[in-house]
Amino acid sequence: MELFFTLCALPVAGAVWAAKCQHIESVRRSVTLLIWLQVIATAFLIGPLLHGDASLLRFTADFAVDRSAACFLLLTNFVAACSLTHAPTFFRNESEIAGKIIPPLHERFFYVSSLLFVLAMNFVFMADNLGLLWVSIEATTIFSAGLVYFSRDKHALEATWKYLMVCSVGIAFALLGTILIFASSQHGAVDGGSLNVRTLIGCAGRLEPKLLELGYIFCLLGYGTKAGIFPLHTWLPDAHSEAPAPASAMLSGALLNCALFAIWRVTELVKLTEHHAICEAIPIFWGALTALAAGLFLVHQYGIKRLWAYSSIENVGIMLVAIGLGSPMLFFLQALNHSIAKVALFLLSGNIIQYFGTKDLSQIRGLLKVSPTCGILLAVCAASVTGMPPFGAFIAEWLILAKSADAMQGISVAILLIALAISFVAVSIHVSRILWGSPKHELNQTSTISRYLVPSLLGICTIVLGLTAIPLILVKPQ
């Protein structure tokens, strides 16, 4: 219980400190220290689950963590820690290299919003109640909107408005779905009804089937909007492109996992009923279609951060397929590899934009001449996110395709293979153009170790994950 309160107290304390402290360097150092303390506290909290000593850690009647939630909880805090560790370097370079003056008040607001955003994401994985899960997802929208609007120009305003409007409509559908699931529990399953996840799982066979199916569809539609599933993805490329690089890294590497985890929670429940076919066919086909649509959008992209945003949508589609297959292991494995590589890519993209002074892909050439370190890291992480061997994403995608084939999902497998091929070729061409050639104008080539410290560590992680996951090919995925 103490660790549970620590996970809640640390982000709140950091947000209060960032709001009140007038010395921006103190804020930067304290937030970096605090967020890594959060990672350590999370590791201690979920240790018994990862070691197999417990299957569920319950804090209160409506807050608990199982093994799947524990893995995502640790990943979310790790992503936030990497992003916020890189943030001070990013903001210093915005003024020193890019020539942009960032008022200390705006940067402090960034840290306040980021820490509250992390808190809301943590509650997504700790909520053992579908109502509280919905509240937590809605809170992530509210706290992350300030990150999207950070630059406070017309493009950021448009992206923030679209983000709030589209996601709020989607979350309203998820609320309706949650209400329908509650109603399904009132017909003889639970006296008075319930939204507690463990209670619903225990009486899944007695839930009213029609209301449950309808509730599932609305939840899939609502949380799918938040995850950026095609064609409900329209907010995502703009939001990820306009947010500062550390915020984009958290949006892609952590927030999307939250929405997909909400879908997993509802899918986990419906799979225990006699009407489980609905949560197999729909997510698998919709996920494959999302991956294909994102791959086609990747072909013609004009912004470097929009490129990685559409790559995120492709990976969302792959993870949705894993959810439909009912495999928490494959879902997390794909999420883990995508998050690690995508955080590095967004942080590197922030460096590249500062070097070239533009997000326009047509103006970014000769990165290997400008910064060989940045160029090599970009190539490694791009290869990882496209699923090249021996990176971890290749193992995850191979297993997902194999399990889909075993489940007789031939059409979805074919669509997914085409999507992966298109995405690989599109990203490879874009990255090749970035790396080679000559810069179109004189650039500031000032480099510091701090600019590449976090991306380098994440790049190493992508390789290690691939090498350690290779034995999974020999094991039948669960």
* Amino acid at site 386: T
What is the average pLDDT across 273-288? 86
What is the average pLDDT across 324-332? 90
User: Would you state the pLDDT for residue 445?
Assistant: 59
Q: How far is CA 427 from CA 146, 307, 392, in A?
A: 30, 8, 17
Give the CA count within 13 Å in the CB-facing half-sphere of 356: 27
CA angle 223, 229, 235 (to 5 degrees): 85
Place of tokens 């939630």: 69
User: Would you state the pLDDT for residue 189?
Assistant: 67
Closest by Cα among 70, 84, 74 to 15: 84
Q: Is residue 109 part of a domain?
A: no
HEC letters along 396-413? HHHHHHHHHHHCCCHHHH
What is the average pLDDT across 89-105? 76
User: Would you state the pLDDT for residue 252?
Assistant: 92
User: Would you state the pLDDT for residue 3?
Assistant: 66
What is the average pLDDT across 274-282? 82
Measured distance CA(183)–CA(173) in Å, rounded: 15
What is the average pLDDT across 117-142? 93
Measured distance CA(431)–CA(425) in Å, rounded: 10
User: Would you state the pLDDT for residue 474?
Assistant: 53
Q: Residues 415-437: pLDDT tens digits? A: 999 999 999 999 999 999 999 87
Q: Residues 34-75: pLDDT tens digits? A: 999 999 989 988 888 887 767 788 888 888 888 899 999 999
* Amino acid at site 16: V
CA 141, distance to chain mean position in Å, is: 13
Q: Are 440 and 370 in contact (CB under 8 A)?
A: no
Q: Is residue 99 part of a domain?
A: no
Q: Is residue 360 part of a domain?
A: yes
Q: Are 392 and 465 in contact (CB under 8 A)?
A: yes
User: Would you state the pLDDT for residue 355?
Assistant: 84
Write phi, then psi, for 342 (nearest 5 degrees).
Answer: -70, -35
| DSSP SS3 for 196 | strand
In the predicted model, what is the mean pLDDT of the chain? 87
pTM score > 0.85 for this model? yes
Q: Is residue 285 part of a domain?
A: yes
Write phi, then psi, for 360 (nearest 5 degrees).
Answer: -70, 120
User: Would you state the pLDDT for residue 2?
Assistant: 64
Closest by Cα among 395, 279, 286, 280 to 334: 395
Containing structural domain, residue 346: 277-478
- pLDDT tier at 20, thresholds 50, 70, 90: confident
Q: Residues 291-322: pLDDT tens digits? A: 999 999 999 888 899 999 999 999 999 999 99
C-beta neighbour count of 388 within 10 angstroms: 16
Who wins on pLDDT, 131 or 53? 131
Name residue 64's beta-bridge partners. Answer: 58
Measured distance CA(172)–CA(275) in Å, rounded: 24
CA 80, distance to chain mean position in Å, is: 11
Percent of the chain residues past pLDDT 90, beyond the cut:
46
Q: Which residues contact 132 (CB under 8 A, 6 or more apart)?
A: 62, 63, 123, 195
User: Would you say residue 409 has pLDDT above 90?
Assistant: no
User: Would you state the pLDDT for residue 177?
Assistant: 93
Write phi, then psi, for 257 (nearest 5 degrees).
Answer: -65, -35
Q: Is residue 400 part of a domain?
A: yes
Q: Is residue 422 part of a domain?
A: yes
Q: Residues 186-207: pLDDT tens digits? A: 876 677 778 888 888 888 778 8
DSSP state at residue 187: T
User: Would you say residue 475 has pLDDT above 60?
Assistant: no
What is the average pLDDT across 365-369? 86
C-beta neighbour count of 25 within 10 angstroms: 11
Provide the domain count of the chain.
Answer: 1
Who wins on pLDDT, 343 or 97? 343
Write phi, then psi, for 477 (nearest 5 degrees).
Answer: -65, 145
Q: Is residue 140 part of a domain?
A: no
Measured distance CA(39)–CA(336) in Å, rounded: 15
What is the average pLDDT across 320-349? 92
Tokens (6 digits) for 109: 């607001």
DSSP 41-108: HHHHHHHHHHTTS-SEEEEETTEEEEHHHHHHHHHHHHHHHHHHHHHHHHHHHHHHTS-----HHHHH
Measured distance CA(91)–CA(172) in Å, rounded: 36
For the four alpha carbons of 197, 77, 458 and 287, in that order, the dihedral sign comes to positive
Measured distance CA(426)–CA(52) in Å, rounded: 42
Q: Is residue 187 part of a domain?
A: no
